[in-house]
Chains A and B, each alone.
Chain A
Amino acid sequence: MAGAEGDDSLYPIAVLIDELRNEDVQLRLNSIKKLSTIALALGVERTRTELLPFLTDTIYDEDEVLLALAEQLGSFTVLVGGPEFVHCLLPPLESLATVEETVVRDKAVESLRKISQEHSPVDLEVHFVPLVKRLASGDWFTSRTSACGLFGVCYPRVSIMTHTFESTLITAVMHFRTLCSDDTPMVRRAASSKLGEFAKVLELDYVKSDIIPLFTALASDEQDSVRLLAVEAGVSIAALLPQEDLEDLVMPTLRQAAEDKSWRVRYMVADKFSELQKAVGPEITKNDLVPAFQNLLKDCEAEVRTAAANKVKVFCESLPEDSRETIIMTHILPCVKELVSDTNQHVKSALASVIMGLSTILGKDNTVEHLLPLFLVQLKDEYPEVRLNIISNLDCVNEVIGIRQLSQSLLPAIVELAEDAKWRVRLAIIEYMPLLAGQLGVEFFDEKLNSLCMAWLIDHVYAIREAATCNLMKLVEKFGAEWAQNTIVPKVLGMANDSNYLHRMTTLFCINALSEVCGQEITTKHMLPVVLKMSTDQVANVRFNVARCLQKIGPVLDSSALQAEVKPVLEKLATDQDMDVKYFALEAISGMYLFNLPTYIFSETFSFSSILFFFFSFSLSP
């Protein structure tokens, strides 16, 4: 503890304190992150009287330091002496709540909200409430925006405990009202985004009498950015109100938002549609939201249609059960049909990612009659992303009608994607291969898709070759080792004689991936001879990959094969001309704990590899 004569333990703390004002940001940051250690060493008294005043003034620092500070202070209560003294944390957090950087301010507000819970009701009224009022009437918008986030947490507790129940609430509402009509759009935005939360802590009567007018005003603000945040507030408020009040109090405003002149506001409505649907209940959904949703699906702005298309499945799922099918068939499906041939690729792609989900809702007959034609159109779409999204969701359809219905159209779509000029598209389709293989069955796969999977192994993009190897492993997991031995292993091993060294290396990578799933017999009998033969390859990259491969498949092999076949080859590689080959051979040897190394290898290479090993293990140890 502090003050002990010549105490050695002071030194590290002294360093930490000095580094609070080091030139180097990283050191300051480290020091701030250990603020609790400093406070503990100083004791509660000095933390309150010296450390906190210092921290209050450090708001000139870099954002990352301030962010860390704001976070630390949220859990500092014990270090200043417990709930009795928690209000000492308010000054530094207040100054952090006024900086221009949003992340820092938000963190300061979060910490303030946290420590507000640790205030006694009296302290809350004496210390915390005045702070909120100060921030709310601050000169700069930064402090006023921060205030918006604090009403929600402090007023419910103040009001319950004290006699001034009514007046406190009224002042709170009054302050909030001022913020809602602030001159700067930033404050109105903050108020708009916190309105829902504030409404939640108020009595229902206050929500109706005071919050609704604020909501209505914000929802018709001249700034688009304010109006679009009001949509979210509207959803929260709607969830609070009883069914009978919804129609009068919030629906007119929400209806207006769904038809707002600004596409950004309509986008927000589309984006929040499921929450809205949940908040207003089945009746209003049927009467109001269904037509609104239809309009959003037909919106003139593609961004809005995209957002709405994304919600098609969730919206349909949450429709009241009694009328779900009718509504979908008569109102939603016609719009969906139009979207399938939308001019915008993002709209189609959003739709493709959810449309398959409709089949579970509509059942087999409707799917075959109405949805299947749409899937087929999307499978032939000119944009690969649309096709991919359909393929990636095939499982939904599989449950309902079986994938065979689609296979005729599926195949050309897959082939086309597999050969797409963009490697990212090829990569995406490879990732769906195991899933497709599982659903289509081994016969179909062998017949139609196997050749594609092998073609990817010699793709000119490494990422594709790598994914193709991984894909083979997953296929073997699905179809079994016997299938592997008959179909893919011969092809993979055949590539070992390819004239292109990259293809020869692919063989090794495939063996790395396949040895475990194929098991000891196939690995020892078929793969190992090929690997060993490649140890004399003229390209060093191939040779050191042989060493790595041997290390990798070692655990699968039996020990006699290891001693008789692998050991001599690795020993030979360990004396290779090439430095990397030597290194990996030695690593394989020591990794397998196989042999007592002959001393001549040590004498030649020990210094080099031991240093490498040293660094390697050093970098791994924490």
Chain B
Amino acid sequence: MSAGGGGNDVQWCFSQVKGAIDDDVAEADIISTVEFNHSGELLATGDKGGRVVIFQQETENKSQPQCRSEYNVYSTFQSHEPEFDYLKSLEIEEKINKIRWLPQKNAAQFLLSTNDKTIKLWKISERDKRPEGYNLKEEDGRYRDAATITTLRVPVFRPMDLMVEASPRRVFVNGHTYHINSISVNSDNETYLSADDLRINLWHLEITDRSFNVVDIKPANMEELTEVITAAEFHPHQCNTFVYSSSKGTIRLCDMRASALCDKHSKLFEEPEDPSNRSFFSEIISSISDVKFSHNGRYMMTRDYLSVKIWDLNMENRPVETYQVHEYLRSKLCSLYENDCIFDKFECCWNGNDSVVMTGSYNNFFRMLDRSQRRDVTLEASRESCKARQVLKPRRVCAGGKRKKDEISVDSLDFNKKILHTAWHPQENIIAVATTNNLYIFQEKVN
């Protein structure tokens, strides 16, 4: 298999769908984040109900190669509970905003999960032995007569059915006044950053009671506030570099070597605005909803409302590539503003060798953008194509004029069905796509 390459030559086929099939969606079941671990063996989702579900890839089965990418539930746990901040009279939702896996350090797996305020470090470990043998009681709990004890018994460990346990190891609290939108683990594997609307903090993974503020854009007078932080991420290899994006469509790259406080960025990535496209909505749609470094660390990708841009870290004045995600919506911005869809925060992701990027759209469509061939394709995550190994057909939206056969008109798109969160297996062509409350897993068709 071509290590995550291939791009649009890949034929995607349905593999699995997770979640309830019926049409009423419980608010708590709405998926709010999706993330593969570093080996791709585990896939975690977080939802609005504060739960984290981890799926594990089945080990390769020689007789059924097509089952290679089957992911089954490995562990489910309640990561966050709803809380109430009595001092500020604020409800704190349990919704999981982000999940980040830590590189594996021993037999157990670790991940960070965060809601608006609190970040937690979870350990997911397996147990296949349990102790047996008591002195004062039987294994079933009945007490023995103490007088009959003539010798001491030391308990012994016996094999048992595999049990997966999730336990909270650290709780990082009180670091944020505003809502946390991103967390990102540093390549030194001992620190991570967390970003809220106005500040970015640096934490040590073993220290929960303090963090260092590295970026603070809060103006002295909140009325002068013009810009908020929308996402932040560490460079995959350079421990001193991180970027953060803003609601104004700019990305700042900071060097933690230069100084302890990174209020002064070392690079500012910004594309000059095209005056012909200027409108009431310009600023809203230029707000960056996600920023991701490529695996090789040379590029970064940003997602704004209508497009995906790829930036070379060495070129600040414009992106090297720009892809329209759903340009046909430009004429619909007015109604998208009215139904608040214009504020949707779409995420984006790279494939394993950085040759293809993926991002979501409305009507349960998601887009695959092939960088080398400059080709793109729209696919749909829908119940209709839920047959095993069924190949996904490309979808086309009619941008105006006469609608051709197989095309869907813009007006018939369902804006309640949106794909905000997607994830790509770090090595293989396996993707996870979250529709509202379902998780679809697609894989490359194997002939």
Contact of A140 among B105, B136, B154, B259 (CB under 8 A): B105
Contact A20 B188 (CB under 8 A): no
Say if the beta carbon of A612 comes within 8 Å of chain B.
Answer: no
Given known A-B contacts A17-B155, A225-B190, A261 and B257 have beta carbons under 8 A apart: yes
Contact of A184 among B103, B108, B123, B134 (CB under 8 A): B103
Say if the beta carbon of B258 comes within 8 Å of chain A.
Answer: yes
Assembly CA distance A223 to B155 (angstroms): 46
Q: What chain B residues lie within 8 Å of A54 (beta carbons)?
A: 131, 154-157
Contact of B152 among A14, A100, A102 (CB under 8 A): A14
Which chain A residues (169-186) contact chain B, with CB distance < 8 Å?
A: 184-186
Contact A2 B151 (CB under 8 A): yes
Which chain A residues (48-62) contact chain B, with CB distance < 8 Å?
A: 50-51, 53-54, 57-58, 60
Assembly CA distance A2 to B238 (angstroms): 60
Q: What chain A residues lie within 8 Å of B155 (beta carbons)?
A: 17, 20-21, 54
Can you name the residue of chain B whose Cβ is closest to the Cβ of A105? B106
Q: What chain B residues lie within 8 Å of A42 (beta carbons)?
A: 152, 154
Assembly CA distance A262 to B239 (angstroms): 11
Assembly CA distance A7 to B108 (angstroms): 43
Q: What chain B residues lie within 8 Å of A46 (beta carbons)?
A: 152, 154
Say if the beta carbon of B129 comes within 8 Å of chain A.
Answer: yes
Q: DSSP class of B's interface residues: helix, strand, loop or mixed?
A: loop
Say if the beta carbon of B355 comes within 8 Å of chain A.
Answer: no
Contact B108 A50 (CB under 8 A): no
Assembly CA distance A46 to B153 (angstroms): 10
Which chain B residues (256-270) contact chain A, with CB distance < 8 Å?
A: 256-260
Q: What chain A residues lie within 8 Å of B136 (beta carbons)?
A: 14-15, 18
Which chain A residues (30-89) contact chain B, with CB distance < 8 Å?
A: 41-42, 46, 50-51, 53-54, 57-58, 60
Say if the beta carbon of A325 comes within 8 Å of chain B.
Answer: no
Given known A-B contacts A21-B155, A57-B129, A60-B127, A186 and B257 have beta carbons under 8 A apart: no
Q: What chain B residues lie within 8 Å of A303 (beta carbons)?
A: 260
Say if the beta carbon of A301 comes within 8 Å of chain B.
Answer: yes
Can you name the residue of chain B whose Cβ is closest to the Cβ of A138? B106
Contact A222 B239 (CB under 8 A): yes
Contact A263 B156 (CB under 8 A): no
Assembly CA distance A184 to B239 (angstroms): 13
Residue of B127, B154, B206, B240 with highest tally of chain A CB at under 10 A: B154
Say if the beta carbon of B150 comes within 8 Å of chain A.
Answer: yes
Contact B260 A301 (CB under 8 A): yes
Contact A100 B260 (CB under 8 A): no
Contact B149 A11 (CB under 8 A): yes
Say if the beta carbon of B189 comes within 8 Å of chain A.
Answer: yes
Say if the beta carbon of A242 comes within 8 Å of chain B.
Answer: no
Contact A225 B131 (CB under 8 A): no
Given known A-B contacts A42-B152, A60-B125, A224-B239, A11 and B260 have beta carbons under 8 A apart: no
Assembly CA distance A18 to B138 (angstroms): 11
Contact B154 A18 (CB under 8 A): no
Interface string of B135-174 (1 = CB under 8 A from A): 1110000000011011111111100000001000100000
Q: What chain B residues lie within 8 Å of A142 (beta carbons)?
A: 105-106
Interface string of A261-274 (1 = CB under 8 A from B): 11110000000000
Can you name the residue of chain B whose Cβ is closest to the Cβ of A42? B152
Contact B135 A14 (CB under 8 A): yes
Contact B239 A14 (CB under 8 A): no
Which chain A residues (74-125) contact chain B, with CB distance < 8 Å?
A: 98-102
Q: What chain A residues lie within 8 Å of B222 (beta carbons)?
A: none
**B interface residues, how many (CB within 8 angstroms):** 43
Say if the beta carbon of A6 comes within 8 Å of chain B.
Answer: yes
Assembly CA distance A60 to B155 (angstroms): 15
Which chain A residues (552-605) contact chain B, with CB distance < 8 Å?
A: none
Say if the beta carbon of B187 comes within 8 Å of chain A.
Answer: yes
Contact B127 A224 (CB under 8 A): no
Assembly CA distance A21 to B153 (angstroms): 13
Q: DSSP class of A's interface residues: helix, strand, loop or mixed?
A: helix
Q: How far is the CB of A184 from chain B (nearest CB, A)?
A: 7
Can you name the residue of chain A whose Cβ is closest to the Cβ of B237? A222
Say if the beta carbon of A13 comes within 8 Å of chain B.
Answer: yes
Say if the beta carbon of A300 comes within 8 Å of chain B.
Answer: yes
Assembly CA distance A263 to B262 (angstroms): 12
Assembly CA distance A168 to B179 (angstroms): 56
Can you name the residue of chain A whose Cβ is closest to the Cβ of B127? A60
Assembly CA distance A384 to B379 (angstroms): 64
Say if the beta carbon of B71 comes within 8 Å of chain A.
Answer: no
Q: How far is the CB of B14 from chain A (nearest CB, A)?
A: 35
Q: How far is the CB of A158 from chain B (nearest CB, A)?
A: 28
Assembly CA distance A276 to B137 (angstroms): 62
Q: What chain A residues lie within 8 Å of B103 (beta carbons)?
A: 184
Contact B135 A18 (CB under 8 A): yes
Assembly CA distance A101 to B103 (angstroms): 15
Say if the beta carbon of A302 comes within 8 Å of chain B.
Answer: yes
Q: How far is the CB of A344 from chain B (nearest CB, A)?
A: 10
Say if the beta carbon of B104 comes within 8 Å of chain A.
Answer: yes
Contact A185 B187 (CB under 8 A): yes
Which chain A residues (407-448) contact chain B, with CB distance < 8 Å?
A: none
Say if the beta carbon of A3 comes within 8 Å of chain B.
Answer: yes
Say if the beta carbon of A128 comes within 8 Å of chain B.
Answer: no
Interface string of A244-265 (1 = CB under 8 A from B): 0000000000000000011110
Assembly CA distance A100 to B110 (angstroms): 10
Contact A10 B259 (CB under 8 A): no
Contact B239 A302 (CB under 8 A): no
Contact A100 B105 (CB under 8 A): yes
Assembly CA distance A58 to B131 (angstroms): 9
Say if the beta carbon of B107 comes within 8 Å of chain A.
Answer: yes
Say if the beta carbon of A5 comes within 8 Å of chain B.
Answer: yes
Say if the beta carbon of A215 comes within 8 Å of chain B.
Answer: no
Given known A-B contacts A6-B150, A54-B156, A224-B240, A21 and B188 have beta carbons under 8 A apart: no
Contact A51 B154 (CB under 8 A): yes
Contact of B239 among A11, A15, A141, A223 (CB under 8 A): A223
Residue of B105, B110, B135 with highest tally of chain A CB at under 10 A: B105
Contact B190 A57 (CB under 8 A): no
Assembly CA distance A263 to B261 (angstroms): 11
Q: What chain A residues lie within 8 Å of B150 (beta carbons)?
A: 3-7, 10
Contact B106 A17 (CB under 8 A): no
Q: What chain B residues lie within 8 Å of A14 (beta carbons)?
A: 135-136, 146, 149, 152
Contact of B187 among A2, A13, A50, A223 (CB under 8 A): A223
Contact B257 A224 (CB under 8 A): yes
Assembly CA distance A474 to B16 (angstroms): 78
* 8 A-B pairs with the lowest CB-CB distances in the bound complex, closest first: A14-B135, A262-B257, A50-B154, A140-B106, A57-B157, A142-B106, A225-B188, A21-B131
Known: A14-B136, A54-B131, A301-B258. 20 other contacts (CB 8 A): A4-B150, A6-B147, A10-B149, A11-B149, A14-B149, A14-B152, A20-B155, A21-B131, A21-B134, A53-B156, A60-B127, A98-B106, A100-B123, A100-B169, A140-B105, A142-B105, A186-B105, A186-B189, A223-B187, A303-B260
